[in-house]
Amino acid sequence: MSKVDCLKRYINIIQCIQSHKNGYPSRKDIIDFLENRKDVKGLSERTFRHDIEDIPTIFGIEIKYNSQERGYYIPNNDNNPLINILLESFEIVNAFGGYKALPDFIIPEKQRSRGLQHLIPLKKAIEESILVAFNYKKFYPEIEQKRKIKPYALKESRGRWYLLGIDYEKEHATLKSFGLDRIDNLEISTIRFKKEIELEVLIKNYDHSFAMFTDGEPERVILSFDLRDGKYVEAMPIHKSQIITYKNDRVQVELYICITLDFIMELMSRSWSLEIIKPISLRERMHKIYLDAAERNK
């Protein structure tokens, strides 16, 4: 059996356990799932046991057996984004894997996030707490600077990847984000540093943010959209705090979120039917943006 077949079997086992209706599929449930996917036939007890043991080593995803439920489960399944990334990528590869080239009826997005070649070296630097240096070019003002950074984490937001880190040469420096698409001449040093921020604290900084900006305090925001836009917002929530309410021919969206520049840009993309109910300060701010735009485009 090829290594590709083994990997497909591993991922399908993970998918079966994650998506099973009662959360605890038995060995028979998993084998039936694999056979329906046509990835295996007649899986032996020995091979199945080895697969369950191999998956944590290869993917870092632990699988346990619950004797009371008589089935397998993944601890912290709901809080593990790695599983979703893995399964989504696998579904795409699996769907197109039978073709030597993409057929005409599959039309992928031509825009690609730049800077992805930095992911692996930055990941290593973060794991080993090693300083990195690179040239960084801001969008505004458009200047390029040499930066020395203590790398803490990698974060994805709206199709772009960012490095989260602290300036090495500045005292009392705060956490900053650097778009990987604007990093050039990346150098991984041999200098180690002591981390000053716990990862849990870093992640919590983004709890109430829409994308990458974390300034300001979270506020209760109430928006209203027509049914068409409301359905889109419901299908792809603006923020994890989102609460949807249907009122007559409108969809009301309640959020607890920081009102940042990137959040305002997201609201502008729904201007077609957007009504801002609360807070009034946001309504007035958006009103001025629309007035200025109308003046520029009259």
Looking at residue 139, its pLDDT comes to: 78
Lookup result for tokens 């920081």: 258
Structure confidence by residue, pLDDT tens digits, 225-254:
999 999 999 999 999 999 999 988 999 999
Residue 69 lies in a domain: yes
Q: By C-alpha distance, which of 290, 256, 245, 254 is closest to 272?
A: 290
Looking at residue 213, its pLDDT comes to: 85
Average pLDDT score, the chain: 85
Lowest mean pLDDT among 37-41, 146-150, 155-159, 168-172: 37-41
Question: What pTM was estimated for this model as a whole?
Answer: 0.69
Give the CA distances from residue 145 to residues 133, 155, 183, 193, in Å, rounded to whole numbers and listed in that order. Answer: 10, 22, 10, 22
The residue segments making up the domain with residue 129 are: 116-204
Residue 105 lies in a domain: no
The partner residues of 146 in beta bridges, in order of sequence, read: 135
Cβ atoms 17, 34 nearer than 8 A: no
Q: Are residues 195 and 223 in the same domain?
A: no
Q: How confident is residue 96, by pLDDT bands cut at 50, 70 and 90?
A: low
Structure confidence by residue, pLDDT tens digits, 188-231:
999 999 888 888 888 888 899 998 888 889 999 999 999 999 99
CB atoms within 10 A of CB 9: 22
Span 38-55, average pLDDT: 77
Span 99-110, average pLDDT: 66
Looking at residue 97, its pLDDT comes to: 61
Sheet containing 243-247, strands listed edge to edge, beginning at the edge strand earlier in sequence: 243-247, 250-258, 218-226, 275-278
DSSP state, 77?
G
Residue 282 lies in a domain: yes
Is 266 exposed, middle or buried (CB count within 10 Å of its CB: 0-12, 13-18, 19+)?
middle
What is the CATH classification number for the domain harbouring 261?
A: 3.30.70
Q: Are residues 199 and 222 in the same domain?
A: no
- Three-state SS for 30-60 is HHHHHHHCCCCCCCCHHHHHHHHHHHHHHHC
Q: Are residues 134 and 167 in the same domain?
A: yes
Q: By C-alpha distance, which of 232, 224, 273 is closest to 252?
A: 224
CB atoms within 10 A of CB 82: 10
Residue 9 in this model has a pLDDT that exceeds 70: yes
At 78, the amino acid letter reads D
Q: Are residues 122 and 88 in the same domain?
A: no
Taking every pair of C-alpha atoms in the chain, what is the biggest distance, in angstroms?
73
Looking at residue 102, its pLDDT comes to: 65
Q: By C-alpha distance, which of 59, 65, 27 is closest to 43?
A: 27
- For residues 296 and 62, the model is more confident at 296
Q: By C-alpha distance, which of 63, 65, 61 is closest to 83?
A: 61
How many domains does the chain fold into? 3
Q: Are residues 89 and 149 in the same domain?
A: no
Residue 243 lies in a domain: yes
Backbone angles phi, psi at 3, to 5 degrees: -65, -35
